Amino acid sequence: MKQFKHTSLSALALFLGLAFAAPLPALAFDDEESAEEAEEEDGDKWFAVVDGDVFTGTGAVLRGATVLAKNGVIEEIGYDLYLPEGTQVLRVPGQRVYPGLVALSATSRISRGMFASRDEGEIDELARAEAEIEGTPESPETFDWLAAAYDPTLPGSSAPEDEEGAVGRRPVRMDAEDGYDPFNPYLILALATGITTAEQGDSALKLKRGSIDGVGMTEKYISSFAWSNSSPSSKESTRAKFKSASDYLREHRKWEERGDKEIPEPDKKGVDANALKVLRGETWARFSSNDRSELLGIARLAQQYKFRPVIYGAREGWTVADELGRAGAYIVVTPRSRADKDERYVRPGGSSIENAAKLHAAGATVTVVPASTSIDLSGIAGRDLLHLPIEAGFAVRGGMSEQAALEAITINPARIMGVDHRVGSLEVGKDCDLIVTDGDVLHYETFVQWAVVAGEIAYDKQEEIYFAHIRPRSDAVDPLEVVGEEPATEDEAPAEPDADDAEEGDDAEEGDDAEEGDDAEEGDDPEAGDDASGDDATGGR
Amino acid sequence: MLCALTLAACAHVSVTPEPASELVLHVGKILTVDAENRVVNRGYLHVRDGKIVAIATTDAGFDVGPGAERIERPDLWAFPGMVDLHCHISTNGFSADLNDMNFPLNPDLRSQPGIRVGHAAMRRACASGVTTAFVIPGSGTSISGFGTVLKFKTDPEGRYADTVVRDPGGVKVAQNFNPERRAGDLGLTQAGLAWNLESLNDRVARQVASGSGTGDPLLANLEAVHRGELPVLIHCASAEGVANTVRMWKLRYGTQCVISHGSWDGHYAAAFAAEHGVPVNHGPRVINHTSMRREGKIQGGAAAYVAAGVPLFSLNTDSPIVPQEELFVQGTVSARYGADAETMLRALTTHPAQSFQLGDRVGSLAVGLDADIVLFTGDPLDPRSAVELVLIDGEVQYDRSQGQWF
Amino acid sequence: MISSFLLFSLLVAAPAPAPAQGIVAIRVGRAESIASGTLEHAVILVEGNTITAIGEDLPIEPGIPILDRPDWVVTPGLVNCYSRLGLTSRAGNQFEPHVLASQELTEVNSALGQVLELGVTTLGLVPPGAGITGQAVAIRTKGSKPADLVLQDRAFLALSLETNSSSKKALRRGFEGVDDYQGKVDKERAKFDKKNDSKKSKSKSKDKDEDKDKDEFKPPTPDEKVKPFLDVREGRLSALVNIRKASDWLHLRDVISEEKDMRYHLRCPLSDDIDLYEVKDAIGELALHFVTTPTITQQVGTRRERNLPAELTTAGAKLVFVPASDSVRSHETYVKEVAYLVSKGLDAEAAYYGLTLGPATVLGVEDRVGSLEVGKHANLVLWNGDPFEPGTEIQAVMLEGAWVHEEDGATE
């Protein structure tokens, strides 16, 4: 597995279980080597999360195991690992370790949002009242912040993307890496949710904190195609594109087999370049549709031309799940997406809470996104990216297994972005992007305690202002230490929830003995404080 | 495919079964949410004629007649049907049928003519475990009218009368943040809004106190409010809105009042509401982040109100602002943002019922109360827990095995 | 400090306004010299337009007129290095590195006189617009005609760098133009050398004493838009980079990572929710000049106060203060705002530097103005007390040896 990122496309195709060409873009392979070489000059950077219950995301769970990373890449996962001198250790007994979550379709706020500099109390009261009377769940301040987050000089960015119902609608194209703000407050909130990789525009970004180096992982891995009942010509033109590309490939193959240099190479003229890329497995074909007959059409088109479509929305997918499964479709759904059946038709339709589960059962690869793929602090809670795991919980409600639900917010979206060789699960050779939680990641009371990106702590709940006050973590001993260094013996004053200066004051030497005493106590009651509210009525997690 | 078709088929066909006049349920856990907040493990519920007649860990003592139906679901948790005091889904989904904007005060309007029973939104709500709601007009005017307390029965061909718990159920008042008049008449400011409300209510209160009454049949319901016979639900937001509501409806008129919303930084006035014993029905906004006063932290409204000691704290959806079936999600996120889960279970059931003079009918699983029972696969606050069965008045309204509606 | 900028000035040090007659000695309670710190009982000798002596309790030759103000404080004339005072043209986002703000100086605006009364003796004027806007000019705030004002043209290249690709592309484009140009130069040189070599070999074979023929290689003239970036790359022209938040700094570093000889300053007006504290150490490590408004900021998302100027100073950055706007009112209050920052923990010495020598350095005129030093322009502000104490007022202003403003009887 360690060599995984160097494997060939065909090996990847096997891994993905594809019957035909794996549409994994070659450009997914970052020049990681150069980054590593640079690090090497100052010596290797080791990082370890120790004693946590490691949920690798592949199904395996290793209780009380260690994840060891070298220069941001997972070196080993297991027990009794040798930790080299200088390894930064995060000790998390009784807590869980998961792969960082992956957010598809995330709005630009994640990587370049800004809080309004004016007091939000000054929001136009009229607009606010209108939101109330009109039933617009979005507060006006949302739009305000979004506008602030947009760069009007960028082409095509004049209209902010629709915050609601991001599924099926695409954020505007942007040069995500150049727009990356590694200090923005929404980024911290995304990390607080456990999201360590986000789709921004058509790019997969690693949500690094305080650094812009190596943030971009891929760009332009996907090409959009239209398929709409309201525009029959869109179907015709899409079909024609794939037909021409398919014909060309057949001709080309024949020409190659013949090996006759006298005969000219088949002409690419008139062949749609994007469709050709899709059929060659260099990019994904993306469709957006919620309608049953459209979905059916897309599934059949994909089967005819032998590619795996990526379909956003798919609200009525449950009615044609078998066909979508047969097409090997990647489906991006919001389990709570809601639309009543059109009563004019006898055929099944409308939304179903079972959508995600049925698509998964039928063999489609399901990714879950919330109704709003932004971060919404206007007060209505539970429907935005801050609640991505809760949305996945609704897939479970509809009958999906918990493992599949976890995959729907980790490895599956990573696959769509072509970065599953780097993120989406905890495996040797993959990036050390992980989260430490105080419980089941799909449970509503669970908070991310630490988010680690590229082997560095990018978020610590108690160090940030946003959630530190909610069920505060009481670290009996400092969870952070460096192998080979005397542990810091400053009294663990509860950290000021202030992201500033993490001054390392590890010179103090007295009081070692007292610390050991604390250690023992800690071992007895590892979960003390976490489940203070554990009561009979709610039962266990 | 087959099961998909089955599901769709049942979605628009009446599922009301033959009324079972007697029923025994055997479940894994009964969350009674009653006065003692008992949890009965591996318990039995005995239902007769729509009421709960017994709850015990064994059915040995039950006086069960012949022909009684038995429901054996020892894997499930029984929970009271949930209660939402702030519901606008009178017709299906969104509707303009909410605000009559001509007059600022409409104490003679009722939502009843606009209510359609058993529509899709109500069925979905029922399938999520919401069984009782106060269906009310909007907040476009200071007094928008009297709402109806009804149950979300799922038969689209059912009768309105069979769903009604109380009509009129109470009055809807809007204190601030919406009823502001913008057509040039009085009531653009907080002062004007207060004057509008007081000009009418002072008169009614005085005449009720004198024992004579107003003699105006159009004010009869409002008189009942001032006699304490009907509750009043007051739409308000922000700290001053919450405080003004307490001052007017509790201290000035002494009504059975419930603060609704209390959004944004309304929780800064929580201690004042608690001091005067005014219940708060919070939502649809349940977090306050940096609004009004900037603390930076993300503050759960429920956590703040409960910590301040507000009695009978409850949650609402303001449906369709938050979909009616997601009432429990308001509890989910409130628990996430710092409120304790057990209190949130009460905030979805017995607290709203009690604060609206409905505690003798719904909100708990207790002997003598309506048999509005929801069987969950686990913790009702966890979105992963599905609702398997919903009973209203002892009748099955929703059965997941016939297709999952939510 | 080598004032290599002079080489590139069109309008090198225009004549100063009418010099004061003779000599005057100014004796005050305290002088903030900037160059050599605070001097008690300071004596400053001004001859013509220049300071010729400064020190504590210097003996004064008999016959030299003395202005004796034992309770007063003298500071160098204030320098505002980033302004559009009196300029009216407007522009949008642009790529105009060759534009000179000095070309806009068509009149002596009366606003100059107003800020001069407020102690501002040197002003940096920048071109309009956003993006890569052109080059600033340093002027004195009094003169009879526009040309008299100019102290230093091409003071710095003003540009902005934001966290987005269009902004980064614009700056990259600037340096790519230089890459292209330098590539062309190399090619031409190679061609030239080859030609020369062949000539040499030819001449060798023919006659040996044809050395006269040998030409100097003349590199092609760079495009007017390339020239400023060439100068920036080679350190002859400094850049002043406008940023708006912490991430802009990272993206700037990303774009200029190859520009080893580039000299630059940062500018960022402070607002409530500014996150620059996130990169203060990196900025401080490079000891950059940081042009900003004297503003107390807040921790993002909160109302918690942060004295960002003080934090940046502690981290090692050199703060340079400018008024929040070009209004006369802003010039009147900005010293008071700096004083407030001092009361909230900003180092006073750094504060004085940020009002005088700091901005002078940004403008590249630190060899002439910004501190009280022998040989420098006699630009002085006389205060009737500690400038950072409330209630202290300006009593007199001297520009290059001449009293240009005084309260009644202040200089008698």
**pLDDT at position A155 over 60:** no
Structure tokens at A224: 């959009």
Asked if A538's CB is within 8 angstroms of B384's CB, the reply is no
Distances (CA, A) of B15 to B81, B123, B161, B374: 18, 10, 19, 16
What would the two tokens of residue C131 be? 């993006």
Distance from CA of A256 to the nearest CA of C (A): 42
Q: Are strands C239-242 and C264-267 parallel, antiparallel or unpaired?
A: parallel
Under an 8 A CB cutoff, do C165 and A174 touch? Answer: yes
The pLDDT value given to residue C211:
54
For residue A112, the model assigns a pLDDT of: 87
Would you list the DSSP string of B334-383?
HHHTTS-HHHHHHHTTHHHHHHTT-TTTSSS--TTSB--EEEESS-TT-T
**pLDDT at residue A513, rounded to an integer:** 39
Chains that touch B (3 or more CB pairs under 8 A): A, C
**Residue B121: C-alpha distances to residues A224, B55, B323 (Å):** 34, 32, 8
Q: What is the pTM (predicted TM-score) of this model?
A: 0.86
Buried b (16+ CB within 10 A) or exposed e, B252-272: ebebbbbbbbbbbbbbbbbeb
Which chains are adjacent to chain C, needing at least 3 Cβ pairs under 8 Å?
A: A, B
| A377: nearest CA partner in chain C | C301
Chain B residue with minimum CA distance to C272: B294
On the question of pLDDT at C13 being above 50, the answer is no
Question: Of A178-192, A206-220, A495-509, C30-44, which gets the smallest average pLDDT?
Answer: A495-509
3-state secondary structure of C122: strand
Q: What is the pLDDT of residue B376?
A: 98
d(CA A192, CA B299): 15
Query: What is the spatial distance between Cα B280 and Cα B257, in angstroms, rounded to a whole number?
Result: 9
Non-local CB neighbours of B132 within 8 Å, separated by 6+ positions: B81, B82, B83, B84, B149, B150, B151, B152, B165, B353, B358, B361, B362, B363, B372
Statement: residue A505 has pLDDT above 70: no
- Interchain CB distance below 8 Å, A537 and B264: no
Residue pair A83/A89 in contact by the 8 Å Cβ criterion: yes
Structural tokens at position B118: 């058993």
pLDDT at residue C14 greater than cutoff 70: no
Is the confidence at residue C7, as pLDDT, over 60? no
Q: Is B358 on the interface with A (CB under 8 A)?
A: no
| pLDDT given for residue C213 in this prediction | 55
Instruction: Among A332-346, B293-307, B377-391, C325-339, name the one with the lowest average pLDDT.
Output: B293-307
CA-angle at C126, arms to C120 and C130, nearest 5°: 135
Q: How confident is the model over A481-502, as a mean pLDDT?
A: 59
Residues 6+ apart with CB under 8 A from A269: none
The answer on pLDDT for C246 being more than 90 is yes
Q: Would you call C245 and A183 a contact, using CB atoms and an 8 Å cutoff?
A: yes
Which one of B1, B42, B260 makes the best mutation probe of the A interface by having the most chain A beta carbons within 10 Å?
Answer: B1
Q: Note the helical H segments in C118-245.
A: 146-149, 165-205, 227-233
Whether residue C76 contacts residue C371, with contact meaning beta carbons closer than 8 Å, is answered with yes
Distances (CA, A) of B153 to A133, B88, B116, C69, C288: 27, 16, 11, 93, 71
Distances (CA, A) of A202 to A103, B359, C133, C226: 12, 54, 32, 34
> A179 contacts in C (CB within 8 Å)?
163-165
pLDDT at B49: 95
207-246 in chain B: CB under 8 A from chain A: none
Mean pLDDT of the residues in chain B: 92
Establish how many alpha carbons lie within 13 A of residue C176's alpha carbon, considering only the half-sphere containing its beta carbon.
Answer: 7
Q: Which of chain C's residues have a Cβ under 8 Å away from the Cβ of B294?
A: 298, 301-303
A157 pLDDT exceeds 60? no
Place of tokens 């500099």: A117
Inter-chain contact A379–B286, Cβ cutoff 8 Å? Answer: yes
User: Hey, is the C-beta of B70 within 8 angstroms of any chain C C-beta?
Assistant: no
Report whether pLDDT(A93) > 70: yes
pLDDT band at C408 (very low <50, low <70, confident <90, very high): confident
Cβ(A176)–Cβ(C164) below 8 Å: no
| Cis bond before residue A479 (omega within 30° of 0) | no
Residue A365's closest CA among A452, A449, A440, A424?
A: A424
The tokens of B83 are what? 């209660």
Task: Return the pLDDT at A160.
Answer: 35
Degrees (nearest 5) of the Cα angle B77, B80, B130? 105
Q: Under an 8 A CB cutoff, do B290 and C304 touch?
A: no
- Determine whether the interchain pair A151/C162 forms a contact, defined as Cβ–Cβ distance below 8 Å: yes
Nearest Cβ partner for B298 among A336, A394, A466: A466
**Interface touch C164/A181, C-beta < 8 Å:** no
Centroid of chain to Cα B278: 16
Contact call for residues B143 and B107 (beta carbons, < 8 A): yes
CA dist list (Å): B200 to A252, B145, B222, B232: 86, 14, 10, 15
Return the axis-axis angle of helices A140-149 and A125-134, rounded to nearest 10°.
Answer: 120
What pLDDT shows up at residue A5? Answer: 38
**How far is CA A442 from each of CA A136, A372, A394, A449, B104, rounded to the nearest angstrom?**
28, 18, 10, 14, 47
C153/A436 Cα distance (integer angstroms): 58
Q: How far is CA A54 from CA A100, A459, B364, in A?
A: 12, 18, 41
Write the CA distances from C85 to A310, C124, C364, integer angstroms: 57, 9, 19
Q: Are strands A195-200 and A101-103 parallel, antiparallel or unpaired?
A: parallel
Residue A123: predicted pLDDT: 38
Angle made by CA atoms B332, B123, A388, in degrees to the nearest 5: 30
Of all residues in chain A, the percent with pLDDT exceeding 70 is 71
Measured in whole angstroms, how far is the alpha carbon of residue C169 from the centre of its chain?
A: 26
Is the pLDDT at A37 greater than 60, yes or no? no
Amino acid (1-letter code) at residue A487: P
Q: Which of A239-253, A513-527, C259-273 has the lowest mean pLDDT?
A: A513-527
Residue written as token pair 């059929």: A279
B285 close contact with A: CB closer than 8 A: yes
Answer whether A174's CB lies under 8 Å from A196's CB.
no
Average pLDDT, chain A: 79
pLDDT score, position A532: 37
Residue B187's region, left for phi above 0, alpha for psi from -120 to 50, else beta, is left
Please give the torsion angle defined by the CA atoms of residues B170, B174, B175 and B179, in that order, rounded to the nearest 10 degrees.
-160
CA distance A147 to A160: 7
Q: Which two tokens stand for residue C361?
A: 């350095």
What is the predicted pLDDT for the residue at B91? 75
Interchain contact A217–B (C-beta under 8 A):
no
Residue B79's φ and ψ, nearest 5 degrees, are -140, 145
For residue C258, count CB atoms less than 10 angstroms from its CB and return exposed for 0-12, middle for 13-18, buried for 19 or more: exposed
Does position A6 have pLDDT exceeding 60, yes or no? no
pLDDT at B145 > cutoff 90: yes
Find, in chain C, the residue whose alpha carbon is nearest to that of A502.
C278
Please provide the average confidence, as pLDDT, over all residues in chain C.
91
d(CA C17, CA C27): 24
Across A320-341, average pLDDT: 96
Poorest-confidence range of A144-148, B9-13, C9-13, C20-24? A144-148
Residue B30 has pLDDT above 60, yes or no: yes
Model pLDDT for residues C314-370, shown as the tens digit of each residue: 999 999 999 999 999 999 999 999 999 999 999 999 999 999 999 999 999 999 999
Tokens describing residue B218: 């159009």
Run of H or E including B237: strand B232-237
Looking at residue A29, its pLDDT comes to 39
For range A340-360, the mean pLDDT: 94
| CB A452, CB A461: distance < 8 Å | no
Report the residue from B31, B321, B338 with minimal CB separation from A537.
Answer: B31
| Interchain contact B90–A (C-beta under 8 A) | no
Q: What is the mean pLDDT of residues C128-140?
A: 96
Do B39 and A537 make contact, defined as CB atoms within 8 angstroms? Answer: yes
The pLDDT value recorded for residue B291 is 53
Burial of A55 from C-beta contacts in 10 A (0-12 / 13-18 / 19+): buried
Q: What is the mean predicted confidence (pLDDT) over B233-237?
A: 96
3-state secondary structure of B240: helix
Range A227-238 average pLDDT: 96
Q: Is C254 helix (H, G, I), strand (E, B) or coil?
A: helix
Selecting from A117, A180, A184 the residue whose C-beta is nearest the C-beta of C272 gives A117
Q: Which residue has the tokens 């718990």?
A: B165
Query: Considering only CA atoms, which of B17, B15, B16, B25 is closest in space to residue B69?
Result: B25
Q: Taking 80 as the threshold, does the pLDDT of residue C155 lie above it?
A: yes
Check the CA dihedral A522-A527-A531-A537 and report its sign: negative
Mean pLDDT, rounded, for B49-53: 97
Interhelix angle C110-117/C328-343, rounded to 10 degrees, is 30
Pairing of strands B373-376, B387-392: antiparallel
Comparing C-alpha atoms, which of C358, C355, C317 is closest to residue C336? Answer: C355
The per-residue pLDDT for range C283-312, each reduced to its tens digit, is 999 999 999 999 999 888 888 899 999 999
Pick from A115, A133, A538: CB nearest B138: A133
Question: How many degrees, rounded to 5, is the angle at CA B332 between CA B328 and CA B333?
Answer: 120
List Cα–Cα distances, A345 to A408, A475, B108, in angstroms: 31, 59, 41
Q: Which of A371, A300, A283 is nearest to A332 (CA)?
A: A371
| Contact call for B295 and C299, based on CB within 8 A | no
Looking at CA atoms only, how far is residue C282 from chain B in angstroms? 26
Query: When comparing pLDDT for B373 and B296, which is higher?
Result: B373
Return the pLDDT at A38.
45
Cβ(C362)–Cβ(C289) under 8 Å?
yes
Altogether, the residues listed in chain A come to a count of 541
Can you give the pLDDT at residue B296?
82
Residue C335 parent element (H or E) = helix C328-343
Q: Across residues A72-84, what is the average pLDDT? A: 97
